[in-house]
Amino acid sequence: MDIWATYQRKLEDVQISPPLAAILALVDLCATSTAGTMFELVKALNEGSDSLKQHSPNPISINAGCELFIAFVTLFPHDSASFSDLKMELVKQGEIYVRQALTYRRKIGELAVDFIKDDSVILTHSYSRVVMETLLLAHRSKRISVFVTEARPRGLGVKTADALTAAGIPCTVILDSAVAYAMDKVDCVLVGSEAVVESGGLINAVGSLNIAIIAKAANKPFYALAESYKFHRLFPLSQYDLPSHNPRILSFPPPIERDTVLASSTSPIPSSGYEVFITQEEIAKNNPDVDYTRPDLISLVFSDIGSLTPGGVSAYLVGMFAG
């Protein structure tokens, strides 16, 4: 079976985020697998998760889901009469988990709403389902207005703005480069996340780090919202230590041929303006999709297991995986 196609199909449901889609794809793999022993099953699952990771340009969030499901499978008490029964049980449990996981956003929203004061201005970044849920929930009881960053290169901030305006929340799209300008008007920053890592830090759409640093400098609280299935056993030491980093990112173009340099230097300098010769796509190609926000910049992480400090996140992860 083509696990990547399955993953893509699961992802079509707007409510399903990449880690959950990865879990569902692995559940399907589990259901169709012909493995006769636990060892074979885990091997098949590992292969499936590897192929998912290879296909995806950004493997971090997929990896979080895969790791969670494989850890669950290996730790699941197998006292069933036959192995096929056990497999069916695993599939059932996997589906139950995903169904439960879909209620997590609501839970997180309820936790986070208490931290939003009436008549406050909120800054958010790009598009995140859990942030949307929280903002819509807050809108019911409080007056809020929202700044949302444009979030180049994907430009998903516009999507957030459309949805919020439709719901009647005053909302303005600001440039990624205007965050510092807007920060003094902001009461708190709410961002979603691709993954929360073991240091207590956050991996999210590129630009989150800028916002976190500016918020810290302006002494504004920076809240991250993350479902617990996004918690990931990974410890990036720097931006370049992320699995998504590759040599293409931030690479310099090959040097221009000497002849052309000489030719251009002899030709007269164009008098009016300068010509645009690089497209948005070309810029995006050499730029990262995600960045890593250090734990010391984050005030709180709201998750379905509670409101955690970054230290609490790492304690939870150590307790969950180190045992």
Binding site for another protein (CB under 8 A): 198-200, 233, 235, 237-238, 241, 295, 311, 314-315, 318-319, 321-323
**Nearest CA among 135, 148, 203 for reference residue 176:** 148
Pick the closer one to another protein by CB: 44 or 298. Answer: 298
Pick the closer one to another protein by CB: 175 or 315. Answer: 315
d(CA 62, CA 23): 8
> Considering the complex, what minimum distance in angstroms separates the CB of residue 196 from another protein?
13
Max CA distance (Å), the chain:
85
The DSSP annotation for 172-209 comes to EEE-GGGHHHHGGG-SEEEE--SEEETTS-EEEETTHH
Pick the closer one to another protein by CB: 17 or 199. Answer: 199
**Angle, helices 38-55/60-75, rounded to nearest 10 degrees:** 170
Pick the closer one to another protein by CB: 153 or 295. Answer: 295
**Cβ(310)–Cβ(294) below 8 Å:** no
- All residues at 6 or more sequence positions from 161 whose CB lies less than 8 Å from its CB, including other chains: 148, 171, 172, 173
219: left (phi over 0), alpha (psi -120 to 50) or beta: left
What percentage of the chain's residues is helix, strand, coil (to nearest 5)?
Answer: 50, 15, 35
> Considering the complex, what minimum distance in angstroms separates the CB of residue 253 from another protein?
20
> Considering the complex, what minimum distance in angstroms separates the CB of residue 107 from another protein?
23
Pick the closer one to another protein by CB: 75 or 81. Answer: 75
> Considering the complex, what minimum distance in angstroms separates the CB of residue 20 from another protein?
25
> Considering the complex, what minimum distance in angstroms separates the CB of residue 292 from another protein?
12
> Considering the complex, what minimum distance in angstroms separates the CB of residue 284 from another protein?
25
Pick the closer one to another protein by CB: 115 or 321. Answer: 321
Pick the closer one to another protein by CB: 28 or 198. Answer: 198
Residue at 81: amino acid letter: A
**Cβ(183)–Cβ(218) below 8 Å:** yes
> Considering the complex, what minimum distance in angstroms separates the CB of residue 212 from another protein?
15
